[in-house]
Every structure is written in C-alpha cells, then in structure tokens.
C-alpha cells in the first residue's frame, strides 16, 4: 500500500521505517531539510537500537523515500499518517498547531480518496477537528476518512514494540477505512481492536496515565516502606504475583520522566478540566511525581552536607537505552544539587551530547563511569543503564574519596554494597 508519514520524530520515523520493512511503499516527510538530507545519507536523527539498519535497508531497496514536500507526500499516497509534534503548552494544554497545519496542507493538496490517520498523541476530539480543517481547505471536493491509530512504543525498544505491539487500536467511524488499516498491519501477530474514533483517542491517554499511576503508587509505598522499615522491592514482587496487578511498572525510584508520561498525564488533567471534570486521582499522580527528586535530595541532605562536596552522577537520560533527556529526573536533580553548591561530575553512555547543550560548563563531563566516580565524596545513580548494573563495584569504591552511594533506581543488593564498605541508600528499602 502507498503510505506517507508526516513528521519524522520518534513516532513518525519508526512507524515509517517499520511499514517499509513490512513491504509497503512509504514516503517519510519532514519540513526540516537538514534532517531529510541526513536521512537520505543514512544518518538517523535519534538513537534507537536497530533503526538505522532497518531504515537504510528499505531505502536501498527502494521502498522508503524521504522528502520535504508535503504536496508530494499527500498526492502520492492513499494513507496519510500524521505524526507531528504535539508539545504541551505551559499549562499542559496540547499545542495542536503542527497538527492543524498538516491538516490544512492535506486539504490543500488532496487529489483523491485518502485515509488520514492520527498517530500523534492528541486530545479526544482532534480527529473531528482535523476532518473539519481538511474540508475547509479543499479546493475540489474529495472523499476522505479519519482514523485514530495511537502509538504505544517505548523509547529504546521502539522497533520491537512497533513490530510486536500488545495491541493495535484502530478508531474510526468508517468501517471500510478501519479495515484498510487492519490490512496494513497484516503479518503482525497482535490483537487488533476496532473502536469509535474518540475511544481510540482516549485509550492512549488512559493507558499512559494508568502506568504513571502505577509508578506514583509504588513510589508512595516506597516512602511508607522507608518509614516502616519494609522493602518496596519485596512488596512489589508480592503484589505483582497477583495476575490482576502484574509486576511491571512497579519499580520504585526517583520518578518517571520522558516525552510521554509527564505530557500525557498533564494533558489529560487539562482536557478533563476543560470538559468540566475534575480528575483528582490523576492530579495526585502528578503531584507525587513532581515531588520525587526533591524528596530524594532531602534524603541525601539528612546524611551529608552538599556544599563543595564532589558528587558523581551516573545516568542522565530519562531511562536506559535512549539519549532522550526530556523531563529527565537527572536534570531536576542537578539543578537542586547546584543550588546547594555541590561540585558535579556526570556520565551517561549516550546522552552526554544532549546534556552538554543544556548544562554547558555547569558540570564536569566524565569520559566513563569510573572516571566519573573517582575522587568523589558521594555517588548518585539516576538511570539504570546495564553498564552501571554490571559495574566493578569494588573499583568504584576504591576510586571514591568518600563512601556514600545513593541509588535512585534500586539497582544493587544492599548487603553486597555494605560488605564492600559503602554507606548505601536506595529507594524504599
Ligand atoms: C511510555 C509508554 O510505556 C509507551 O507505551 C508510550 O507509547 C510512550 O510512553 P517511554 O516514555 O518511552 O514509553 O518509557 P517507559 O519505559 O514507559 O518509562 C517511562 C518512565 O517511567 C521512565 O522515566 C522510567 O524510568 C519510569 N518508570 C518505568 C519507573 O519509574 N518505574 C517503572 O516501574 C517503570
């Protein structure tokens, strides 16, 4: 099938590349010329395991095309995916200006029947809005259908998630359009659920909010575990054995970050409010998460002063296997530590370049994990990269000046840390 994907951000690029891998003809369109030029030369704008090989193979074999012309993309395809940015405004309202602009362009260049599919995470009702804008901008009347097909991929395992999703949600008021999109996914071994357009739009927000709620819930249990002297990991395991609850997303820590959870939870609270519904439970989820880093720093300050202390920070990306630092707990943590006049050394396996752009010379950048901890009074682990999990702990201890280790992700065994001579603090244990 002839597909175009508008927007080559995380979701757009991965979607386009995977559809091309499945044998479809795909045009990936982006207004950013530099990005498109780089893609044509095989250079990916994001770090994602497996993406580069898959994209370049389809490009070489002539199934994947890159362009900056939306006119071309619209005219040459029957199915158009909208996967442009939907950044939040300051009040967490979703900024739909990019989506609206693409809708207007689709209206302007439409030259036959099209199925317009929303992949971007957009508030309920956006499908209808896109339809209205397309109609308003059409010079000649053509038939089109609107579909909502939300994306559930996780950064760091985007290719895997897109090829083997738990479920594929297709929301549309047109059965024919929905069936065409079902065809597109043929060959994938996943449950496909066809829903109303507006249900599909809400499923994405409801899912991410629920996962965020699981994290804030276990983080609150972790706080209680610290007061009572219990162990949050054991509690999570005990809870997770109940099939109705499940073990996943019950890892306590320094809080959730990234480009999705904070944005989607904030947006759902905003949408609900604008519809006259007070989503109290979700407001609390956000509140718990917003306080996470501050609480962690307060805990550190109960053990040691920070002024002029040398601190090694391990992990900067919002989670492992990505270079993404959007809403990363590490940045909030660094801001608070700098306020307390700590001297910071930082290290991350892939996010260093992104962090340098934000923090400039406010911190010292280390070339590897051991270089980062050498000579420090205390070490803080923020992101649970494998390289930290498999680190030579004795080497870390020997290189440090002090003995304090604060683990924001419960990576190590407290007994082992103690036996190595660390004063070790983790979350809820
Ligand atoms: C998330 C959703 O999982 C995905 O389905 C959706 O499409 C986009 O948003 P992503 O943001 O890539 O994906 O990361 P995810 O792996 O879900 O982690 C989100 C945040 O929660 C990270 O900061 C992670 O560290 C944190 N987290 C996750 C916890 O603190 N504890 C957990 O148990 C799980």
Identify whether the C-beta of residue 127 lies closer than 8 Å to the C-beta of residue 101.
no
Residue with CA closest to ligand 1 atom 19: 256
Domain 204-274 coded CATH 3.40.50.720: no
The yes-or-no answer on residue 28 being catalytic is: no
Q: pLDDT tens string for the chain (429 positions)?
A: 899 999 999 999 999 999 999 999 999 999 999 999 999 999 999 889 999 999 999 999 999 999 999 999 999 999 999 999 999 999 999 999 999 999 999 999 999 999 999 999 999 999 999 999 999 999 999 999 999 999 999 988 999 999 999 999 999 999 999 999 999 998 888 999 999 999 999 999 999 999 999 999 999 999 999 999 999 999 999 999 999 999 999 999 999 999 899 999 999 999 999 999 999 999 999 999 999 999 999 999 999 999 999 999 999 999 999 999 999 999 999 999 999 999 999 999 999 999 999 999 999 999 999 999 999 999 999 999 999 999 999 999 999 999 999 999 999 999 999 999 999 999 999
CA of 153 to the centre of ligand 1 (A): 10
Q: Which CATH architecture has domain 291-425?
A: 3-Layer(aba) Sandwich (3.40)
Question: In CATH, what number does 2-195 get?
Answer: 3.40.50.720
Q: Give the pLDDT of residue 155.
A: 87
Which of 32-58 are b and which e, b meaning 16 or more Cβ less than 10 Å from the residue's Cβ?
eeebbeebeeeebbbbbeebeebbbeb
Q: Give the pLDDT of residue 397.
A: 98
CA angle, 208 then 17 then 15, to 5°: 25
pLDDT in tens, 383-427: 999 999 999 999 999 999 999 999 999 999 999 999 999 999 999
Decide whether any atom of ligand 1 lies within 6 Å of the 408 Cβ: no
Which of 176-198 are b and which e, b meaning 16 or more Cβ less than 10 Å from the residue's Cβ?
ebbebbeebeeeeeeeeebbebb
65 belongs to an annotated ligand binding site: no
154 belongs to an annotated ligand binding site: yes
* Calpha distance 378→4 (Å, rounded): 51
- Domain residue extents for the chain: 2-195, 204-274, 291-425
The two structure tokens encoding residue 226: 């610290």
Same topology for domains 2-195 and 291-425, yes or no? yes
Catalytic residue, candidates 11, 13, 260, 417: 260
CA of 200 to the centre of ligand 1 (A): 20
144 belongs to an annotated ligand binding site: no
């Amino acid at each position: 099938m002839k597909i175009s994907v508008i927007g080559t951000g995380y979701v757009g690029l991965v979607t386009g590349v995977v559809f091309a891998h499945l044998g479809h003809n795909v045009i990936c369109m982006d207004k950013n010329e530099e990005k498109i030029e780089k893609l044509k030369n095989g250079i990916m704008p994001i770090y994602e395991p497996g993406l580069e090989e898959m994209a370049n193979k389809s490009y070489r074999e002539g199934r994947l095309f890159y362009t900056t012309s939306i006119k071309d993309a619209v005219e040459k395809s029957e199915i158009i995916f909208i996967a442009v940015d939907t950044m939040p405004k300051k009040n967490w309202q979703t900024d739909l200006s990019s989506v609206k602009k693409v809708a207007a362009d689709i209206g302007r260049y439409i030259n036959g029947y099209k199925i317009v599919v929303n992949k971007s995470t957009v508030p309920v009702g956006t499908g209808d809005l896109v339809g209205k804008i397309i109609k308003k901008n059409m010079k000649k009347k053509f038939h089109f259908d609107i579909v909502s097909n939300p994306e559930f991929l996780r950064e760091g395992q985007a290719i895997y998630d897109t090829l083997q999703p738990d479920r594929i949600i297709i929301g549309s008021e047109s059965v024919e359009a929905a069936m065409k999109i079902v065809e597109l996914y043929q060959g994938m071994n996943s449950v496909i659920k066809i829903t109303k357009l507006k249900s599909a739009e809400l499923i994405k927000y409801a899912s991410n909010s629920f996962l965020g709620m699981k994290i804030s819930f276990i983080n609150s249990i972790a706080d209680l575990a610290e007061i009572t002297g219990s162990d949050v990991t054991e509690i999570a395991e005990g809870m997770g054995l109940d099939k109705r609850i499940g073990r996943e997303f019950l890892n306590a820590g320094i809080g959730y970050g990234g480009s999705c959870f904070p944005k989607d939870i904030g947006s759902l609270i905003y949408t609900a409010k604008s519809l006259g519904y007070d989503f109290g439970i979700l407001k609390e989820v956000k509140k718990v998460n917003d306080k996470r880093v501050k609480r962690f720093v307060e805990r550190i300050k109960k053990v040691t002063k920070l002024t002029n202390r040398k601190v090694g920070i391990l992990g900067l990306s919002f989670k492992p296997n990505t270079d993404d630092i959007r809403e990363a707990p590490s940045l909030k943590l660094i801001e608070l530590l700098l306020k307390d006049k700590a001297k910071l050394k930082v290290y991350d396996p892939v996010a260093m370049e992104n962090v340098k752009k934000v923090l400039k010379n406010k911190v010292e950048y280390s070339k590897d994990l051991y270089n980062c901890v050498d000579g420090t009074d205390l070490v803080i682990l923020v992101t649970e990269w494998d390289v930290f999990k498999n680190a030579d702990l004795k080497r870390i201890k020997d290189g440090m000046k002090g003995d304090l280790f604060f683990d924001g992700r419960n990576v190590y065994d407290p007994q082992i840390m103690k036996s190595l001579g660390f004063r070790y603090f983790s979350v809820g244990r």
